[in-house]
Structures are given as structure tokens and as C-alpha cells.
Amino acid sequence: MVDTKVNLSGVELDNPVIPASGTFGYGYEFAELYDINILGSFSFKGTTLQPRFGNPTPRIAECSEGMINSVGLQNPGVDKVISEEIPKMAKCFNKPVVANVSGFSLDEYAQVVRRLDSVPQIGIFEVNISCPNVHNGGMSFGTDPKNAADVVKRVKAETNKPVYVKLTPNVTDITEIAVACEAAGADGLSLINTLLGMRIDLKTKKPVIANKMGGFSGPAIFPVALQMVYKVYEKVNIPIIGMGGISSAEDVIEMMLAGATAVEVGAANLVNPYASRDIINDLERVMKKYNIERLCDIIGGAH
């Protein structure tokens, strides 16, 4: 019998598969299709201090081996997430969840985490630092080591739960940001967030997405994500949740060999709502094929 258990900063998961934020709602939508307790955990929809309607439509563009989205952090705001969404989530999922949080200032990040901290089902905070810093000319928190470190420090002051930082790949050197986050006290890292992409409609001769550009995800970005996880693993001593184009059990093994302790499955859930379940169900077969008895033993095995 193979062992698929992994440990993220003291939070033990039955397996390393975590549906990514923004692709799995609050879980209960998928619970109508299958028992989502098969999952290691899941990262619920990105939460901000105030409700957000999101970006103008169209927000989605198809492309070869992937998709581009510019949803714009649409969510009901932290208070409604606590009062309405989490109670519904708790009825269908009985394991610790990952809370993905966003903010447009240091104070917003702190307030969101402060309010969510008392929710018992939240096991890990995943801090999305790809948001523009409204007090710093709109530059993303995640593109500057000092800004990234400042977010980590503020969030860590609000909670004793593990804080993982979700890193953007749209930087010159992602390891520089990773090292800064670790030095500021981050318990772990999630990478990568989406790449930047766009499509142009040949009939209208204009960008397909109303915001012109959006986040590119899907199988096409897997090799990019893999090399970034590999490089970051060699620079830090904290766990990594790897993501970016994962769509099979083989991808999970490959990402763990690069240095990930767990993985997040994103765009695949939007193409096939059973994707995460199917990956988990296939893990034992793939582990046996490659003579792997315990998944935790292969983390960073390619180094």
C-alpha cells in the first residue's frame, strides 16, 4: 500500500492535491458532483476586504493548451465569506482548508487575515501578492522584494496559522522574491501564479478580453512553473506548493521531484470538474509504476 500523505507546516494532508483558488469556488459547487473529502485540501476563492464585482466582460479567452482570464478577484468580501460561504463549505468538507487572501494595501491584507483567523476550518493562509499596491503607484506587491516582505510581516502579526505566499512569475528573478518572503517569516510559498497573456480577435481586430490582458494558465505553462519551483527549492528552506498547468498524476510526481511538497490544480478543474478527483485516484498507479512507496520521500528528488 502506497503512502500519499504530505505535511505542510504541521497541517497533514491525505494527499498533495489541492484545487487552486479561483477554480474551485468554495467547494460546495463541486460537492454536488463527487465527495470532495477525497482532496488533500482546497484553496477557496480569493478573498478581499470589500466585495468586488470583478473586471468588465469578456473576461475569458481560449488559447492552445490553456486559457487567459481576467476575472478581477470577484468575491463577496471577507464578512460575507465568513457569514455565508464558509458555513456552506463546512457542510461538505471536513478537513482544513487553504484561505487565499488579497489586498490593495498592507492594512487590507492585515484586516482580511485578522477576520479570517478565528475560522477553525482554515488551516493555512495563502497570501496572493500579485495585487497592485495602491499606496505605491500601482506596482504589484509581488514584483518587489521589500513590498513582498512587508506583506508577510503584517500578515504574520495577525495569525499563528501557517502563512504561504503566492508568487507571481512575472518578475526577472522569482528566487529573489522567495528569499525575501522567507526572511520576513513566511512559512511556505505557492508558485506560480499565472503568466501574463492576451488574444486578439481577428474579426474585430481588437483584444478579446475587455482588460486587454489577463492571466495565462493551463498545460502550456507547466514547464515554466516546474523550472521556477526547481530554482526556488534550491534557495529556500520552507515548503513549496507547486502549481501551473498540472493536469495528471504524472505532473504531480514531476512537480514534487522539482521540490514541491504539495500541488495545486487550477485550469484543469475548469475544463473537467472531476480533474482533481481523477488525479488523486490515479496517484497509486503512477507511484507503483515508478517504484514510489511514500510521496514525502521524493520531495526535491530531482536535485
- pLDDT tens-digit map of 162-197: 999 999 999 999 999 999 999 999 999 999 999 999
Q: Decide the pairing of beta strands 6-8 and 11-13.
A: antiparallel
How confident is the model over 247-264, as a mean pLDDT? 98
From 92, 131, 181, 296, active-site residue: 131
Q: At what angle do helices 145-156 and 106-116 cross, to 10 degrees?
A: 30
Confidence of residue 130 (pLDDT cuts 50, 70, 90): confident
Q: Assess whether 131 carries a catalytic annotation.
A: yes
The position carrying cell 477554480 is 23
User: Is there a domain that residue 210 lies in?
Assistant: yes
**Is the distance from CB of 204 to CB of 166 less than 8 angstroms?**
no
User: Is there a domain that residue 236 lies in?
Assistant: yes
- Give the SS3 label for residue 278: helix
Residue 42 reports pLDDT greater than 90? yes
User: Is there a domain that residue 118 lies in?
Assistant: yes
User: Is there a domain that residue 259 lies in?
Assistant: yes
pLDDT value of position 139: 67
User: Is there a domain that residue 303 lies in?
Assistant: no
User: Is there a domain that residue 1 lies in?
Assistant: no
194 DSSP 8-state letter:
P
- Other beta carbons less than 10 A from residue 237's beta carbon: 6
Share of the chain above pLDDT 70, in %: 98
Q: Does residue 58 have a cis peptide bond before it, meaning omega lies within 30 degrees of 0?
A: yes
pLDDT value of position 77: 98
What would the grid cell of residue 268 be? 484543469
Q: How far apart are CA 222 and CA 169, in angstroms?
A: 12
* DSSP-assigned beta bridge partners for residue 262: 241
How many domains does one find in the chain? 1
What would the grid cell of residue 269 be? 478543474
Confidence of residue 50 (pLDDT cuts 50, 70, 90): very high
User: Is there a domain that residue 151 lies in?
Assistant: yes
How confident is the model over 27-45, as a mean pLDDT? 98
96 DSSP 8-state letter:
-
The domain containing residue 86 runs over which residues? 6-298
Residue 231 reports pLDDT greater than 90? yes
**Is the distance from CB of 16 to CB of 4 less than 8 angstroms?**
yes
| pTM, rounded to two decimals | 0.97
pLDDT value of position 63: 93
Q: How far apart are CA 123 and CA 41, in angstroms?
A: 9
Q: Which residues contact 121 (CB under 8 A, 6 or more apart)?
A: 86, 89, 90, 93, 96, 97
Give the CATH number for residue 183: 3.20.20.70
Residue 245 reports pLDDT greater than 80? yes
Of 152, 153, 131, nearest to 142 by C-alpha is 131
Phi, psi of 110 (to 5 degrees): -60, -45
Mean pLDDT of the chain: 96
Q: How far apart are CA 150 and CA 107, in angstroms?
A: 11
